[in-house]
Structures are given as C-alpha cells and as structure tokens.
Amino acid sequence: MKNEFYALNATNLQGKVMEMENYKSQVVLLVNTATKCGFAPQLVGLEKLYEKYKDSGFVVLGFPCNQFGNQEPGDEASIAESCSINYGVTFPIFAKVEVNGPGTHPVFQYLKRELRGIWGEKIKWNFTKFLIDRNGKPVKRFSPFTDPAKIESYIKKLL
C-alpha cells in the first residue's frame, strides 16, 4: 500500500504541482509559515537546519498561511521575495494554504489527523512544525514556540 503522505501533492510558489513522493527517503520538516509573523525569524533557523543537513537527506517544506492575524497577506511573488531577501530561505516554499477549517489543504488534513496537538486536530498558530521520517510517517509535532535549533536532535536521530 502506498504511504498516504507520498500520495499527496501541493503547488509551489512558481505554480508547479509538486508530489510529496519527490521527498521519498528524506526526513521532512513541514512548517506553516507567515513572513509577517513574530515567529518569522524562525525562517533563519529553519534555513540553517536545511543547509546543514540537506546533503544527508533532509528537507524543510514551507507552507505560507494567512489564517492567523493576517500575517501572510501577500501573493506568491511577495512571499518568495520576503523569504529570500529577508530570511535567506532556499528550501522549498509552497503556495499559500489553509491549515484549519473547511478549506484545509490535504497535506495538513493528513498531518493533523496523524499528530494531534493540544488543540486536537487544530493548528494554533503559524510555525507549527511536523517532522516526517524517511518512510513518510509523521513522527513529531512541534509548537510555534519551538525554536528550530531545538529540533536538530530529532532530525539527527532520523537521518
């Protein structure tokens, strides 16, 4: 049976549909992001993790979301520019998605079902992080308050 995570896809900032299967055999840290959020400096820490471990089979996937305090109001071009210029992001960023409610993107429907948080299947705020192992199994959910550096030990165990 095909792994459910690898059966999903999402559109990147350039408008291309990307299959999650492209990340097969990699450790994935999937994050709902927002460039105007107080947690946005975490993008720098996420980039550091990506740079350090990308050659070992690790990838960060950013999913911008505007559902919390209107903190990602821009279009794809402005999101790409802000991530690159302000935070030096080189890891893949996807088109804006919803992570809660009836319009929840299928990737987040799956992750929230597999890894419930203190709010059940809801995501509380931007920069909720989901760690997925090399087999596409979600293994750990981190709150928006979790600094990316504190996730490094979990990543290293999975690599």
Residue 9: count other Cβ atoms within 10 Å of its Cβ: 14
d(C-alpha 85, C-alpha 87), whole Å: 6
Catalytic residue (one of 29, 30, 37, 60): 37
Residue 98: count other Cβ atoms within 10 Å of its Cβ: 16
50: exposed, middle or buried (C-beta count within 10 Å: 0-12, 13-18, 19+)? buried
Mark whether 65 is an active-site residue. Answer: no
Among candidate residues 29, 28, 26, 27, the one with its CA nearest the CA of residue 148: 29
Residues serving a catalytic function are 37
